[in-house]
Amino acid sequence: GNSVTQMEGPVTLSEEAFLTINCTYTATGYPSLFWYVQYPGEGLQLLLKATKADDKGSNKGFEATYRKETTSFHLEKGSVQVSDSAVYFCALASNSGNTPLVFGKGTRLSVIA
Amino acid sequence: ETGVTQTPRHLVMGMTNKKSLKCEQHLGHNAMYWYKQSAKKPLELMFVYSLEERVENNSVPSRFSPECPNSSHLFLHLHTLQPEDSALYLCASSQLTAGYEQYFGPGTRLTVT
C-alpha cells in the first residue's frame, strides 16, 4: 500500500539556518504530494503541494520538488525564522481508488534566536 | 465563516459523560474526516465520510460514534470515554476522498478525567 516516510525529529536550528526535512514515499501510479504545517495549538495547514513529477511546490519561502526517480519530496527553506517552529507533515494522495491522504509521522522543528 | 470550523475548542469530560464534537465546512466539499492526534503518536484517521456515507472506519472503539447529517456537517458523539482518549480531535474536509488535499479545522482539545 501507499506510505510516507519522513525524517525523525526533533530538528533544532538557529535562526537563518538552512532547513531540509526529508520525505520519501511508496505508491502505485502517480500520486500528488503535500507538505502540511501544524503550529502549536492549531490544526494542520496546507503549506505546499505538487501534483506531477518535477513539479516544484512553494509557499512562504518553503520549497519541495516532486522527484519520481528518487520517490522523494524533501522540504527546504533557505533561511528559517523563529516563527517557523512547528510540526511538518509530508502527505501523499493517490489518484486512484477511494484512499484518503496518507500522512508521515511528522517532524518537529524548533528554531532558536 | 470560512474554511473548516470546530466546536468546542476545549472540552473536559468525566468518564461517564456524553458529549459531542461538531465540525462544519464552508468549502463545498464532499468528503469529511475525523482524526485523533495524541502526544508522541502519529496522526490517526478515525472515520471517513464521502457524500454523507461512511466509507472507512479504522477499528475505532464504539464509544466514538460519528454522524454526518449533510455534506457540510460532521459530528463525533462521545460516551463513556477513557483517560487514554484524551487527545486533539481534528476534523478535515476535501473535494473527494482520493487525489485531493484536505483542509483541517483547528481541533478540539479533549481531556477525559
What are the pLDDT digits (tens) for A38-60? 999 899 999 999 999 999 999 99
Pick from B49, B50, B104 the residue to mutate for testing the A interface (most A CBs within 10 Å).
Answer: B104
Q: How many whole angstroms separate alpha carbon A17 and alpha carbon A13? A: 6
pLDDT of B57 over the 90 cut: no
Instruction: Say if residues B36 and B82 touch (Cβ distance below 8 Å).
Output: no
Q: How far is A50 from chain B (nearest CA, A)?
A: 11
Place B54 in a pLDDT band, splitting at 50, 70 and 90.
confident
Average pLDDT of the residues in B58-68: 92
Q: Is B33 left (phi over 0), alpha (psi -120 to 50) or beta?
A: beta
pLDDT of B2 over the 80 cut: no
Give B17 or B1, the one with higher predicted confidence.
Answer: B17
Closest B-chain CA to A29:
B99
Place B1 in a pLDDT band, splitting at 50, 70 and 90.
low
Average pLDDT of the residues in B51-58: 83
Residue contact B43–A89, C-beta within 8 A: yes
Buried-state track A39-52, b at ≥16 Cβ within 10 A, e below 16:
eeeebbbbbbbbbe
| Cell numbers 476534523: residue | B91
pLDDT of B52 over the 90 cut: no
Pick from B35, B38, B43, B56 the residue to mutate for testing the A interface (most A CBs within 10 Å).
Answer: B43
Q: How many whole angstroms separate alpha carbon A82 and alpha carbon A113? A: 6
- Whether A101 contacts chain B with CB within 8 A: yes
